[in-house]
A = this chain, B = another copy of it.
Amino acid sequence: MNLTVKIGKMVMKNPVTTASGTFGYGQEYAEFVDLNCLGAVTVKGISREPRQGNTPPRIFETPCGMLNSIGLQNVGLEAFLKEKLPYLRGFDTNVIVNILGGTIKEYIELAEALDGRVDAIELNVSCPNVKKGGILFSSDEAIFRELIREVRKNVVNSTLIVKLSPSASSILSQARICEEEGADAISMINTIPAMAIDIESRRPRLSNIIGGLSGPAIRPIGVRMVWEVHKTVRIPIIGMGGIMTAGDALEYILAGATAVAIGTANFVDPTTTMKVLKGIEDYMRNHEIEDFSSLIGGLIWDREGR
């Protein structure tokens, strides 16, 4: 049975990775998961400088989902390279580093510093552009394109992944821009902006008011978006959003994902990644599938309906 997949230059021994921000820097879950068994570890978003993140409360549970407004608290580039990366390098797995910046320059500096030292760089574009008055990089197509183009120039040895936000005005044209600007892959979906209110205090449940919705609630939205993007571009997709089981992962894969990332599910069951991997193997065995890649985009459909 061959589970190997390729995302740009990065060869993954299996299609299972973690979603940025839900698996810490790997170490936090090493007690529950043999990191050697993962196709890749994707770490919490890294910024140039360390960040404190938003004021608590930062999380709130909603039906079959959760809101978070962590505000990208992280140790910063330097500490990551010194303290976190060496640990991960001790395992036989790929390291994907999610990066974020407030300016294109910050992104470039991060990309330069990481290029060649990590297997892949994942661009988190759901950040406010401080130079452009705080609008999101993902909400203006011209800036979005410029960001990818500039970062691409600086990512020569690592694989470049762009993480798309489901709240982008058009996820399809963003996917096309990624392909045109030479990104190696797309990862999707990021959380969906959402909100909850404490009716007793009349205040938002999160101090940031709006947070990102993740978890099984959003899975059907993620699967639909992956399917649409898969029909639109040829670069590989890392699918995520509410994957709790191998069956959920296979939905993403049949819709067109080459690899899958486990996010919120790590919180619910820290061993989810391993269960998903085993479940995919079982499915392939039961269906007598030798090569994992034959499943990618394997949805059977026709325009008349099913």
Contact = CB atoms under 8 A, between A and B. Distances in A.
Contact of A197 (B192, B216, B218, B251): B251
Given A209-B305, A254-B202, A219 B63 contact: yes
A2 interface: no
A298 to B, nearest CB: 6
Given A64-B216, A202-B254, A220-B213, A305 B55 contact: yes
A210 B54 CA distance: 36
A166 to B, nearest CB: 9
A193 B207 CA distance: 29
A204 B299 contact: yes
A291 to B, nearest CB: 16
A52 B1 CA distance: 46
A283 B207 CA distance: 24
Contacts of A54: 305
A20 B133 CA distance: 40
Interface in A208-243: 208-210, 213, 215-221, 223-224, 227, 242
A12 interface: no
Nearest to A255: B197
Contacts of A301: 203-204, 209
A202 B63 contact: no
A224 B209 CA distance: 9
B250 A209 contact: no
Interface in A62-99: 62-65, 67
Contacts of A221: 192-194, 213
A128 to B, nearest CB: 14
Given A196-B251, A204-B306, A216-B217, 15 more contacts: A54-B305, A64-B64, A64-B216, A64-B217, A193-B221, A194-B223, A194-B224, A195-B224, A196-B219, A196-B220, A199-B247, A199-B251, A199-B254, A199-B283, A202-B299
12 contacts: A55-B305, A64-B65, A64-B216, A192-B221, A195-B255, A196-B251, A197-B254, A201-B300, A203-B300, A203-B301, A213-B220, A213-B221
Interface of A: 54-55, 62-65, 67, 169-170, 192-197, 199, 201-204, 206-210, 213, 215-221, 223-224, 227, 242, 247, 250-251, 254-255, 283, 298-301, 305-306
